[in-house]
Amino acid sequence: ARVILATRSARRGEAAASRIRRETGNNEVQFMHLDLASLRSVRAFASTFLHQEPQLHLLINNAGVSAGGTTEDGFSLPFQVNHLGHFLLTQLLLERLRSCAPSRVVIVASSAHCAGRLRPESLGRPPSGLFSTFQDYCDSKLANVLHARELATREQGTQVTCYAVHPGFVNTSLFRHAPPWLKPLLLPLAWLLFLDASEGAQVVLDCATQDGLEPLSGRYFTDGGPRLPWPAGRDDRLARALWEGSERLVGL
């Protein structure tokens, strides 16, 4: 496969691409810059990609942050990076996915969607309260599950299919922004009990490559296969409202 690693850090992205080329012998692995915290960057990436790359069969929306803060576009950082940026990217690349069908979109979600509380009238604004950053993260993960569900509905008959994935609890740098009081508890737990990155990638790769998943488009997957998401993740009315609100927020 020809693989484009679309990442925010040029240094880390180039290093990852170089390591993959070296370990696999596949020279068709390239880095391109993409910062999901900037809708301007998302549009620039999509424009460059569509100009340079004639084929797109698989889009994996994998980036995620758990930090608080606000983006240059005025949205909460977790909600934009984890959902809005991916939503805009997918929409900008959707016609190419259709023209190269059968094709797939895999959205990395989380079981944290169980605590998500999306309110269409306040999308993109950080929630209030003592645990607002954690709530913001959970809201963005619910948005991931609903994004996959609504995209699958809208793409019926196009041979573009979509899957939301909970990769498990994975020991990555996702928790580097955790509050200082929480890190002494969280970090040893992560080292002892969490999956490493290669293990966490497995269910994502399964949804990307496994034959016969097309009838399960829109479903939520864990390492045990397709699972029912929590009730909010099955709310079709909320999925439509999220889609329409996201279009408005990103200017589509």
Residue 42: per-residue pLDDT: 98
Q: How far apart are CA 124 and CA 181, in angstroms?
A: 27
Counting the structural domains of the chain, the total is: 1
Q: What are the E-state strand segments in the chain?
A: 3-7, 29-33, 58-61, 103-108, 160-165, 220-222, 225-227
| Catalytic site positions | 137
Percentage of residues of the chain with pLDDT beyond 90: 70
Of the candidates 230, 237, 84, 204, which has an alpha carbon nearest to the alpha carbon of residue 145? 230
Residue 98: per-residue pLDDT: 97
Residue 168: per-residue pLDDT: 58
Q: Which domain holds residue 242?
A: 54-250
Residue 76: per-residue pLDDT: 94
The answer to the question of residue 30 being in a domain is no
31 by DSSP, 3-state: which? strand
Residue 187: per-residue pLDDT: 58
Give the domain CATH number at 95. Answer: 3.40.50.720
Mean pLDDT of 73-79: 95
Q: How far apart are CA 110 and CA 113, in angstroms?
A: 6
pLDDT at position 189 over 70: no
194 by DSSP, 3-state: which? coil
Specify the residue for token string 């004639």.
54
Phi, psi of 162 (to 5 degrees): -145, 145
The answer to the question of residue 24 being in a domain is no
Amino acid at 177: H
Specify the residue for token string 């003592």.
130
Per-residue pLDDT reduced to its tens digit, 85-137: 999 999 999 999 999 999 999 999 988 888 889 998 889 998 877 678 888 98
Residues near 85 by beta carbon (within 8 Å), at least 6 away in sequence: 36, 37, 39, 42, 63
Tokens of 81: 């990076």
Per-residue pLDDT reduced to its tens digit, 35-46: 999 999 999 999
- Residue 196: how many other CB atoms lie within 10 Å: 11
Residue 41: per-residue pLDDT: 98
Whether omega for the bond prior to residue 126 falls within 30 degrees of 0, making it cis, is no
Of the candidates 165, 159, 166, 167, which has an alpha carbon nearest to the alpha carbon of residue 214? 159
Residue 111: per-residue pLDDT: 84
Tokens of 43: 């549009």
Counts of helices then strands in the chain (DSSP H, E): 8, 7
| Mean pLDDT, all residues of the chain | 89
pLDDT at position 233 over 60: yes
Considering only residues 73 and 190, tell me which one the structure prediction assigns the higher pLDDT. Answer: 73
The answer to the question of residue 188 being in a domain is yes
223 by DSSP, 3-state: which? coil
Per-residue pLDDT reduced to its tens digit, 149-173: 999 999 999 999 999 999 856 546 6
**Which pLDDT band holds residue 176 (cuts at 50, 70, 90)?**
low
